[in-house]
A and B are shown apart, each in its own frame.
Chain A
Amino acid sequence: MTEGDIREEILDILESIAPDEDLTQIDDGVNFRDQLELDSMDFLDIVMELRKRHRIQIPEDDYVQLASMKSTVTFLEPLMKDIERV
C-alpha cells in the first residue's frame, strides 16, 4: 500500500467507527481528537480494525502514534507497504 492507500484505509476505518462524522474536511496535520469526537475507546477501535483487516499488531505504547492522520500514515507506512491493496 502507498501512503495514499493507507490514508484511504484509515478514512474507511473512521467511517465505520464514527459514521456520523464528516470526514471530508479532515486536516491531516491536526490531531483527530481536536477535529472529531473520538474518545479512547475509538482509538482502540482503530487499532483493532487494523489488526482485523491487515493482521497488524500495534503495542499499546504506540497508540500515541495514531494522533493525527499524518502521524498515523507515517507510522503505518513501513508496516503496510508490503500489503496488497484490495
Chain B
Amino acid sequence: MYDTIIIGAGMSGLAAGIRLAYFEQRVCILERHTTIGGLNSFYRMRGRDYDVGLHALTNITPRGTKRGPLARLLKQLRLTRDELQIAPQLGSEVVFPGVRLRFSNDFELLRAEIAREFPQQIDNFERVVSEIVEYDDLDESHQAVSARQKLGEIISEPLLIEMFFCPLMFYGSAREHDMDWGQFSIMFRSIFMEGLGRPYAGVRLILKHLVRKFRGLGGELKLRSGVERLAVEGGRVCGVVLDSGEELRADRVLSSAGWLETMRMCDDGQPVSHRGAGQLSFCETIATLDVQPEKIGHRSTITFFNDSKKFSWKKPDEPCDVHSGVICSPNNFDYGGQRLEEGTMRITALANFDYWNDLSEYDYEMEKLRWYDRITDSGVRFVPDYRHRVIDTDMFTPATVVRFTGHEGGAIYGTPEKQFDGRTHLDNLFVCGTDQGFVGIVGSIVSGISMANRHCLKG
C-alpha cells in the first residue's frame, strides 16, 4: 500500500516523487520504459552519448536570483545550483529573410537588436514587455486571451510578431497557429528575459540528480512497469494494474502520462471527456562533426529560422515542414574552459505523425535518410554548411517520441487544452507534467512539484 503512486519517470514524475518522499510518504514511481527521462532521456549508440531532446534549459537566471521558476525548483527539490552545473548559452538568434535578431541571457541585447532592426516598434515592444512582466504565472485565472490578437493590438509590424512566435512556439506551444497570452508570457520570460543554459554532461546529469535524490529519500522506482489500467471503485482510484497483471494499491495516483492517456486507463467506463489530442510533433536530425562548430564559423547556440515572412505552426501536410526549424549546437555554451569532445549540430523540424507512424519498417528507414538530408539542406541556408564535416548521424521522428513517452500522436507539448488545476473526475486522481500546463524541462519539473504540493501533501 502506497500513499501515492506516480505514473511516469519523466521530469515531472521524478520531481513530484522527490517532494513526496522528502516528506516521508510511501511513494512509488511506475515507468513503462526501460529507462527514466521520458521525453528527455538519453541513449548511447556506436560509442557516442546522445540526449533525446535537450537543446537547452530555459529560465536560466543569474546565480543568487531568488525569484522565478529555476529558483523555485532548486528550493523545492533542495538542490543547489552547483549540482546542476548549468553553463549559459553563448548567444542565440531568430533568422527570417533579411532580418536577424540576436538574443542572449542579457535581455539588453534583444532590446538593442529590436531598436536596430525595427526602430519604429521599440516603444511598442516595451509595452509588450511590461505586460508580460505583470503576468502572474501562479495565478489560476490563466488568461485564455489570444496572443496573436493581443500582440496585433500593440505591435504594428507583422514580421516582428512572427519572429517572436517562431522560438516561443517551437519551445512550448501545444496549440496550432496561436498561443494563449498566458503561455506566451511564460515562454517569453523563460527564453528571452531569463535565458538558456545547459549542463556540460547534458540531460543525464539532471536525471541522475533527480533519481538519486528520490531513491536516497526512500522512494521506489519501478522500470518496465507500465500501468495498464486504474482500478476505480465508488468514484475513487484504489490502485493500479500493471501490464504484467500485478496490482498495486495507493491512496492516490498522480499521472504524467498525459490527459487522454490517463483518462483511458480508468476502468470505470466513464466516457473520456472530449479534448483534442495535440497535433504537433517533431523530427530531429543529429550530426556529429569532426570539428568544433566554432571552427567552421558557427557560434550561435540556437538558431530559430523561417524562410518566409510568415511563420506556420501547424501539423504539416508533408512528412516534415522544412521551411522552419531550430538548429542547436550543444558546443556553443560557456562551459568555462571545458569543451565537448566532438562537434554536434541538431535540427528540429515540425513533422506529421501519421505519415511516420504508418510506414513499413523498410520505408521508415529509407524515409529517415531522405528527410535527414532535406532538413539538413534546409538548415544550412541559415548557418555555415557543415555537411562535409559529418562523421555520424542519427535522427528521430514522431514515432520515436511515442516509443519514449506513450504520448498520443507523438505530441511533444501534449493537448492544447491544459488541466491547470490537475484535477480529474476522480477525487484522488491527478495529472501533472505536459498536460497540466507547464512544458519544457523546467516547466514540467515545476508542474510535478506544484501538483504534488497541492494534491498530495496538503491536508
Taking Cβ atoms with an 8 Å cutoff, the residues of A that contact B are 16-21, 37, 39-42, 44-45, 48, 51-52, 60
Contact = CB atoms under 8 A, between A and B. Distances in A.
B66 A60 contact: no
Contacts of A45: 76
A42 B67 CA distance: 12
Nearest to A44: B453
Contacts of B138: 39-40
Nearest to B23: A48
Contacts, number: 31
Contacts of A42: 75
Contact of A60 (B64, B80, B450, B459): B459
Interface of B: 23-24, 64, 66-67, 72, 75-76, 78, 80, 138, 449-450, 453, 457-459
A48 B457 contact: yes
B72 A44 contact: no
B422 to A, nearest CB: 15
B48 to A, nearest CB: 37
Nearest to A18: B75
Q: Which of B66, B72, B78 has the most CB of A within 10 A?
A: B66
A61 to B, nearest CB: 11
A19 B77 CA distance: 12
Contacts of B24: 52
A40 B453 CA distance: 10
A20 B64 contact: yes
Contacts of A44: 453, 457-458
Given A44-B453, A60-B458, A37 B67 contact: yes
B23 A51 contact: yes
A37 B75 CA distance: 11
A41 to B, nearest CB: 6
Contacts of A37: 66-67
Nearest to A49: B23
A44 B459 CA distance: 11
A41 B450 contact: yes
B458 A39 contact: no
B66 A41 contact: no
A63 B269 CA distance: 39
A23 B64 CA distance: 15
A4 B449 CA distance: 33
Contact of B23 (A21, A52, A60): A52
